[in-house]
């Protein structure tokens, strides 16, 4: 047996505002970390290496995956960042 078709329209639900996660990066933190990643000493270094070198100097940024995420968010900089030797043709 089939249910009778609904005669009245479905009531609209009020849209809930999405809450921000308490651990989420603020815009200022993302900009600060992106500036460190773009600095002259880190520009040719992979985020995995940055996560190892900077804490030795007393600077802790984020996890490696978060640094890659910040680079993707800032633009298409998530490629391999080290200089590669090009062979002459």
Residue 78 tokens read as 């998530």
Burial class (CB in 10 A: 0-12, 13-18, 19+), 83: exposed
N-term to C-term CA, the chain: 76
pTM of the full structure: 0.62
The pLDDT of residue 18 is: 87
The pLDDT of residue 28 is: 92
Residues of the chain with pLDDT under 50: none
Using CA atoms, how far residue 77 sits from 19, 25, 30, 63, in Å, is 29, 19, 14, 17
Annotated domain spans of the chain: 27-74
């Amino acid at each position: 047996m089939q249910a009778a078709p609904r005669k009245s329209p479905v009531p609209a639900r009020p849209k809930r505002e999405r809450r921000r996660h308490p651990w989420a990066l603020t815009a200022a933190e993302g900009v600060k970390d992106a500036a460190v990643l773009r600095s002259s000493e880190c520009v040719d270094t992979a985020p995995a290496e940055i996560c190892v070198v900077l804490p030795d100097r007393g600077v802790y940024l984020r996890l490696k995956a978060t640094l890659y995420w910040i680079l993707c968010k800032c633009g298409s900089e998530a490629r391999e960042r080290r200089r590669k030797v090009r062979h002459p043709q």
